[in-house]
Chains A and B, each alone.
Chain A
Amino acid sequence: MSGEEAAGMPGPAPDERPQPEGRRNLEGHRIDPVVEAEHDSRRAVISALVEDEPGVLARVSGLVSRRQFNIESLTVGPTTVEGHSRITMVVEETDPGIDQIEKQMAKLKPVISVGEVSGSAVTSELVLLKVHGEEPDKVHAVSEMYDGQTLDAGPETITVQLTGDESKIDDAIDAFDQFGIIEIARTGQTALARGNIPTAPGEKPGTAGEPTTPNTQ
């Protein structure tokens, strides 16, 4: 197509038009000193109180995969309120990404409340480790160092249970590595907020807290 004969509409060509100087970054922020914020990703623990109905885990995991959120772990378990479960997710995302996870999860019908657990939350993970059993005394000593429990010991393998926060678990795994780790199973982090702060923001105190009393609402 030659430029002169090409059919089209009248008006100045793209290069002949005024163009603004400004730009936005990939997150849609205007790049100027006031709002400029190139976000680094960070780890966040998201806790959600959900109705324990069929498919709720599929809804949450489907959301995470469809929207390409970076997720490290996801745990789910019942609460003391019948029909309510807690889902705890560890994600690695930018602040806007974490915001989106919370907002998109809040739109899922079975999600009662959801939010990031504040940095001072109590977090813990359970790990089962199976190592070679040639040096049972040494395995036992390392296990004691990390408050581990021996669940199974045989002539060839020893299986140890460890609990703790992420840094303790990482250290323990490094220490057990010397025996040769045959198999490992980790639950992923689960978390609760400290003190009187609700774990999932907006979570009404007592919705999961009535000890051993079923929800009769």
Chain B
Amino acid sequence: MSDSAAHPREDDPDADPASDRADADDPGTADPTGEENRPDGETPTAVSTGAESVVAALEAAGAETAFGVQGGAIMPVYDALYGSSIHHLTMAHEQGAAHAADAYGVVSGEPGLCLATSGPGATNLVTGIADADMDSDAMLALTGQVPTEFVGNDAFQETDTVGVTRPITKHNYFAGDADSVGDVVGEAFELSRVGRPGPTLVDLPKDVTLDDTEESPGPAEAPAGTDPNPRAREDAVAAAARAIEEADRPLCLFGGGVIKGEASDAARKFARTHEIPVTTTMPGIGSFPEDDELSLSWAGMHGTGYANMAITHTDCLIAVGTRFDDRLTGGIDTFAPEAEVVHVDIDPAEISKNVYADYPLVGDAGTVLEQLLDAIVEEPDADEWREQCQEWKETYPMTYATPDDEPLKPQFVVEAFDEATDDDTIVTTGVGQHQMWASQFWTYTEPRTWVSSHGLGTMGYGVPAAIGARVAADAMGDTDRDVVCFDGDGSFLMTMQELSVAVREDLDVTFAVLNNEYIGMVRQWQDAFFEGRHMASDYNWMPEFDKLAEAFGALGIRVDGYDEVAPAVEEALEYDGPAVIDFHVDPEENVLPMVPSGGANGRFALTEDQL
């Protein structure tokens, strides 16, 4: 949406919001950290327009990076970004901007920031905002809007952005005037990260951003009452502790909230101190090291057999920061059917929403885990249970066959990358079979290294997410960390235009396309549940991704056989810039184990004919 010459979005070409900058009027509240980055040396809180107030608020709130696409109604904000300390990356498509901002937030722990113009710019953000909402990722979206007097008149590039995004944001705002717009933006930024994180949006009518104002934004503050008490009630903690002490088969279930709440250390300490086996949800991958003896890896539809056995047979499930998504629970009737549930969550609305919580503990994951740790006096007597869990690991190993007469197995590619990279490597994925293999056959040990689209299941998330992850790692000074994007052929094709950004910015990312010439998860379901009718799932019309990569200016490699894998992985990882490897893998390979939708976790299928 940036090609304003061919498709003009500018509806007020005479405006020049930067022409009348005011001097500092309140140096006492200036943020000294941003000062040296201002080319004209003025204090960052001195503003003369609504747009400058927006940017001053973002700087004051600590925003360092923005992803976006220019356009008519957002031009004043972009103009105010000129010379700002905020590093802006133009993306090829607004969806890419939203996913990049989301992933930036996942890796950095700070809210991501994305910008788009009104109308199509805003609607293109919608998928990314919905994705962040489903995964409780902190993100602020700023959208341009037609001038206030045109709102409601179906003006050029007008969309009711606040209306469209209302159900997929934590809260959204329509900026009313230039004097308050900075404070609104600061509040929205803070609100996205307090309590249960989530995306917020501020819609910025062009007259508001162009208008004169001398009101510098105050310190960014979340609205009153939105930053919850981190501690759970002591009596509730004590009751939960007694239940854990008395359990014979206790099991931890760590969700994405453990990572978002920076509670991975507390979670590790809790499980190891009391020697309680651990399974995670998919968003919880990395909260507990998968190479730890207590780890059973992740549970759910394509989780490990041993995790699903454990979650089926536990008598006390200590669930932290999870919303009991149906992909985790399978049929609710057979989910942990004999377990008392201790549910720790910062959002009281998640308590007993899907699974009844016998012991609800509302609070911050890390704080409540510390409370629980202290409250447990007697260790649960769970030697037999721990042995049983180890036995299940041996009974249901995560393996795959590599027969000579079959094409390259995708799992082999994932393992090859895992072996060739360090533990702090960041993995991003699209959505589909490749995502499952990337999560199953890579051993995750650190939080914020697994960056994926879980709740919304957005194909195309992987490429822009890798860009956001790379930028975040670089901003944190971790330029040596590897970023590997596993993608499917169908998923890659949805957002691969963002490769142009990776090339432009010279971002060191390796894109591993597990190309099976199918929209593979659909093909797998068609074989299992639709008698093999491959309706619209056959993707044998894919371009040659290695050549396409070269056309973008990236390194392109094609791999067909096992002996080519290691050299290609090494070449791509050593290449200083974006590299794409088009792995032509076995089109018939299925993701296993699998709990059929709504089925019992304990009855996971190990072969296709068990489905």
Q: Would you give the shortest CB distance from A144 to chain B, in whole angstroms?
A: 47
The residues of A that contact B334 with a CB separation of less than 8 Å are: 19, 23-24
The interface bits of chain A over 27-50 (1 if a CB of B lies within 8 angstroms of the residue's CB, else 0) are: 111100001000000000000000
Question: Is B335's CB within 8 Å of the partner chain A?
Answer: yes
Known: A8-B608, A9-B396. 5 other contacts (CB 8 A): A20-B313, A24-B333, A28-B352, A66-B167, A100-B353
Question: Is B257's CB within 8 Å of the partner chain A?
Answer: no
The answer on a CB contact under 8 Å between A7 and B349 is no
Instruction: Provide the bound-state CA to CA distance between A6 and B588, in Å.
Output: 11
The answer on a CB contact under 8 Å between B349 and A107 is yes
The answer on a CB contact under 8 Å between B348 and A19 is no
> Can you list 13 pairs linking A and B with CB atoms under 8 Å apart?
A1-B527, A1-B608, A6-B609, A9-B397, A9-B398, A10-B396, A13-B610, A19-B602, A19-B603, A21-B337, A28-B356, A55-B166, A96-B352
Question: Is B347's CB within 8 Å of the partner chain A?
Answer: yes
Among B535-563, those with CB < 8 Å from A are: none
The interface bits of chain A over 103-114 (1 if a CB of B lies within 8 angstroms of the residue's CB, else 0) are: 110111100000
The answer on a CB contact under 8 Å between B592 and A8 is yes
Q: Would you give the shortest CB distance from B585 to chain A, in whole angstroms?
A: 14
Instruction: Provide the bound-state CA to CA distance between A21 and B600, in Å.
Output: 12
The answer on a CB contact under 8 Å between A9 and B606 is yes
Q: Would you give the shortest CB distance from A24 to chain B, in whole angstroms?
A: 5
Measured CB to CB, the nearest residue on chain B to A32 is: B338
Counting from the closest, the 8 A-B pairs by CB-CB distance are: A8-B607, A22-B337, A103-B349, A28-B355, A14-B603, A22-B338, A11-B396, A6-B607
The answer on a CB contact under 8 Å between A24 and B356 is yes
The residues of A that contact B355 with a CB separation of less than 8 Å are: 24, 28
Instruction: Provide the bound-state CA to CA distance between A64 and B420, in Å.
Output: 50
How many B residues have CB within 8 A of the partner chain? 54
Question: Is A59's CB within 8 Å of the partner chain B?
Answer: yes
The residues of B that contact A1 with a CB separation of less than 8 Å are: 527, 608-609
Question: Is A211's CB within 8 Å of the partner chain B?
Answer: no
The answer on a CB contact under 8 Å between B338 and A20 is yes
The residues of A that contact B604 with a CB separation of less than 8 Å are: 14
Number of A-B contacts (CB under 8 A): 123
The answer on a CB contact under 8 Å between A109 and B223 is yes
The answer on a CB contact under 8 Å between B337 and A24 is yes
Among A101-149, those with CB < 8 Å from B are: 103-104, 106-109
Q: Would you give the shortest CB distance from B167 to chain A, in whole angstroms?
A: 5
The answer on a CB contact under 8 Å between A28 and B354 is yes
Question: Is B174's CB within 8 Å of the partner chain A?
Answer: yes
Instruction: Provide the bound-state CA to CA distance between A93 and B353, in Å.
Output: 14
Given A9-B607, A20-B602, check contact A104 B349 (CB 8 Å).
Answer: yes
Partner of B395, one of A7, A11, A22, A27: A11
Q: Would you give the shortest CB distance from B342 to chain A, in whole angstroms?
A: 13
Interface of A is mostly: loop
The residues of B that contact A24 with a CB separation of less than 8 Å are: 332-335, 337, 355-356
Given A3-B609, A8-B607, A20-B337, check contact A107 B347 (CB 8 Å).
Answer: yes
Question: Is A58's CB within 8 Å of the partner chain B?
Answer: yes
Question: Is B250's CB within 8 Å of the partner chain A?
Answer: no
The residues of B that contact A100 with a CB separation of less than 8 Å are: 349, 353
Q: Would you give the shortest CB distance from B401 to chain A, in whole angstroms?
A: 6
Question: Is B300's CB within 8 Å of the partner chain A?
Answer: no
Instruction: Provide the bound-state CA to CA distance between A66 and B226, in Å.
Output: 22
Question: Is B428's CB within 8 Å of the partner chain A?
Answer: no
The answer on a CB contact under 8 Å between A19 and B166 is no
The answer on a CB contact under 8 Å between B312 and A7 is no
Question: Is A195's CB within 8 Å of the partner chain B?
Answer: no
Q: Would you give the shortest CB distance from B377 to chain A, in whole angstroms?
A: 24
The answer on a CB contact under 8 Å between A62 and B349 is no
The answer on a CB contact under 8 Å between B600 and A19 is yes
The residues of A that contact B255 with a CB separation of less than 8 Å are: none
The residues of A that contact B313 with a CB separation of less than 8 Å are: 18, 20
Partner of B332, one of A2, A28, A106: A28
Question: Is A207's CB within 8 Å of the partner chain B?
Answer: no
Among B454-468, those with CB < 8 Å from A are: none
Partner of A23, one of B337, B354, B606: B337
Measured CB to CB, the nearest residue on chain B to A22 is: B337
The answer on a CB contact under 8 Å between B608 and A9 is no
Q: Would you give the shortest CB distance from A1 to chain B, in whole angstroms?
A: 5
Q: Would you give the shortest CB distance from B163 to chain A, in whole angstroms?
A: 7
Partner of B166, one of A3, A18, A62, A96: A62
Partner of B606, one of A10, A35, A108: A10
Question: Is B593's CB within 8 Å of the partner chain A?
Answer: yes
Question: Is B231's CB within 8 Å of the partner chain A?
Answer: no
Measured CB to CB, the nearest residue on chain A to B607 is: A8
Instruction: Provide the bound-state CA to CA distance between A14 and B599, in Å.
Output: 11
The residues of B that contact A13 with a CB separation of less than 8 Å are: 606, 610
The residues of B that contact A72 with a CB separation of less than 8 Å are: none
Instruction: Provide the bound-state CA to CA distance between A6 and B611, in Å.
Output: 12
Instruction: Provide the bound-state CA to CA distance between A25 and B334, in Å.
Output: 9
Question: Is B399's CB within 8 Å of the partner chain A?
Answer: yes
The residues of B that contact A108 with a CB separation of less than 8 Å are: 171
Among A84-108, those with CB < 8 Å from B are: 96, 99-100, 103-104, 106-108
The residues of A that contact B340 with a CB separation of less than 8 Å are: 30
The answer on a CB contact under 8 Å between A17 and B602 is yes
The residues of B that contact A185 with a CB separation of less than 8 Å are: none
The answer on a CB contact under 8 Å between A9 and B305 is yes
The answer on a CB contact under 8 Å between B605 and A14 is yes
Q: Would you give the shortest CB distance from B27 to chain A, in whole angstroms?
A: 30
Question: Is A54's CB within 8 Å of the partner chain B?
Answer: yes
Question: Is B371's CB within 8 Å of the partner chain A?
Answer: no
The answer on a CB contact under 8 Å between B162 and A55 is yes
The answer on a CB contact under 8 Å between B603 and A58 is no
Q: Would you give the shortest CB distance from A29 to chain B, in whole angstroms?
A: 4
Question: Is B241's CB within 8 Å of the partner chain A?
Answer: no
The residues of A that contact B398 with a CB separation of less than 8 Å are: 9
